[in-house]
Structure 1
Amino acid sequence: MSKVVLITGGSSGIGKSIGEYLTKHGFTVYGTSRNPEKYVNHPFKMVGLDVKDVSSIYDAVAKVVAHEGQLDVVINNAGVGITGPIEEIPQAEIQHNFDTNFFGPINVIKAVLPQMRKQEGGLIINITSIAGYMGLPYRGIYSASKGAPELLTEAFRIEIKDFNINMTNIAPGDFATNIAAGRFHAPLKEESPYKKYGRVLHDIDDHVNNSSDPIEVSKMVLKVIRTKKPQTHYIVGAFMQKFSIVLKFLLPDRIYEKMLINHYKL
């Protein structure tokens, strides 16, 4: 039987790329959106789900299980970007970011675990970010909201190991998606003491716009699904982005911090 996959945030970007790729490889794929009716010609099925609404999460999971009788792979992909000096980011935007990037995936996991226990197996993939491995200037909230699921997965893996359920993280670097368009940017203020923020913001958006095709993430997802015992962490991105994580663990903190300061010309 074809494996059934649920991808949160499957309407565009990395989520859509993953869904298309897995569909071509014979999987039964469901993506999610707050407005699934907009995607009648989508390359795979869409169901309504808002990761900030717990009841909608449980409803979507129940709908997929009712239609398919199983749920084999769940990919926590829905997420939002955020930039700005931490001091100047409104609290409501910080809360929204964590509700989407951290609390949302937790609630999705809680919703699917009972079904995976019932069928005695399953795989949960959390799409995080290379930014989650380090505190990046003017992306500190995003780094924190993506770093937290990395640690969450480490704990979850131990707690669910007796149920034949696997969980892993895939941390992409910069890929050419529409994340920059949907990202919250703290407004550039003439009176702000953080004068360098505007230039860093421009560089961040440039990196995304000139990055690789997200198909590389999709290929990694398929590889992980086909792996009997997935690792805890996977990283997908340009060589220097991946190497920056190696340096993070090898270099003394102050030297690594200096390297980031030089990289961003701060």
Structure 2
Amino acid sequence: MSKVVLITGASSGIGKSIANYLSKKGMVVYGTSRTQKEDNSFSYKMLALDVLNVASIQNAVSEIIINEGRIDVLINNAGMGITGAIEDTPTEEMKKVFNTNLFGAVDVMKAVLPQMRKQKSGKIINVTSIAGYMGLPFRGIYSATKGALELITEAARMEVKQFGIDIVNVAPGDFATNIAAGRYHTPVFENSAYKETYQENLNLMDAHVDGGMNPIEMAKEVYSIIETKSPKIHYKVGGFMEKCSIVLKRILPDKMYEKLLMNHYKL
């Protein structure tokens, strides 16, 4: 029986790449975006699902269950970026990103878990970020949202294990996608104490994305996780230095690690 997969944020970037790849592998894939999209480039069905709207989430999940009778895999991929100094970034914008990246993902998990419990099986794959393993300058809010989702995954997977359900994290590094265009960028204020360093870091972030890996690498990793009977808790998909940065944080003294980051970000 072909696995039935729900993936949020599947109209572009990493989500679209994963959805196309899984569809070609013979899975029944339902992608979502905030509004219904009709596009010949999709090799899978698209539904409207806004992670900020619980009714929208429930409607999409119900439609899949009515059509297929089950949901085997949820890939929580929908998210948004944010940049800016903590002092300069409007708190309301911070809350919007937490609502999307953290609470939106949690609400989608809540929506599929009753069906997975009924089936006594299921996998939930939360797409986090290597940035969630450390507080990055001018990306602190994004780091915090993804780090929080990592920890919630660790807790939830222990709660649902008794029902035959696996929940895992997969943390991408920089990928060549259009993510930078969708970020909330705190303006570079003329009177900001961070004007020069923030602008330099914006340029650095965009260069990292432009030189990032092909999203197909994320698709292959997600497929491997789905096909693994007993997956790990944490997966990282990125360049050598990105993965190395996580290891270094574990083994280096805090201030030494901080100095390495500050040198990298020219602070």
Q: Shorter chain as normaliser: what TM range?
A: over 0.9
Would you say the 8 A contact 1:39–1:46 is kept in 2? no
Would you say the 8 A contact 2:132–2:146 is kept in 1? yes
- Of 211-220 and 33-42, deviating more is 33-42
Match of 2:118 in 1: 118
Question: In 1, distance between residues paired with 2:95 and 2:66?
Answer: 33
Residue type matched to 2:175 in 1?
A: F
Number of aligned residue pairs: 266
**SS at 1:217's partner residue?**
helix
Question: What do you get for the CA RMSD once the two structures are aligned?
Answer: 0.8
Would you say the 8 A contact 2:38–2:46 is kept in 1? no
Match of 2:141 in 1: 141
Match of 1:221 in 2: 222
Question: In 2, distance between residues paired with 1:25 and 1:248?
Answer: 37
Residue type matched to 2:29 in 1?
A: V
Q: Could you tell me how far 1:89 is from its partner in structure 2? A: 0.9
Give the TM-score taking structure 1 as reference length.
Answer: 0.98
Structure 1 residue runs without a partner (length 5+): none
Q: Could you tell me how far 1:48 is from its partner in structure 2? A: 0.8
Q: Tell me: CA distance 1:40–1:53, structure 2 relative to 1, closer, same or farther (3 Å).
A: farther
- Of 103-112 and 85-94, deviating more is 85-94
Give the TM-score taking structure 2 as reference length.
Answer: 0.98
Q: Could you tell me how far 1:86 is from its partner in structure 2? A: 0.9
Question: In 2, distance between residues paired with 1:98 and 1:40?
Answer: 32
Question: In 2, distance between residues paired with 1:17 and 1:235?
Answer: 17
Match of 2:206 in 1: 205
Residue type matched to 1:174 in 2?
A: D
Structure 2 residue runs without a partner (length 5+): none
Deviations 1:202-239 (A, max 9, x none): 10011001111010000000110111111110000000
Would you say the 8 A contact 2:13–2:177 is kept in 1? yes
Question: In 2, distance between residues paired with 1:57 and 1:39?
Answer: 21
Q: Could you tell me how far 1:59 is from its partner in structure 2? A: 0.8
Match of 1:233 in 2: 234
Residue type matched to 2:33 in 1?
A: S
Question: In 1, distance between residues paired with 2:230 and 2:4?
Answer: 19
Report percent identity of matched pairs: 61
Q: Tell me: CA distance 1:73–1:207, structure 2 relative to 1, closer, same or farther (3 Å).
A: same
Q: Could you tell me how far 1:41 is from its partner in structure 2? A: 5.1
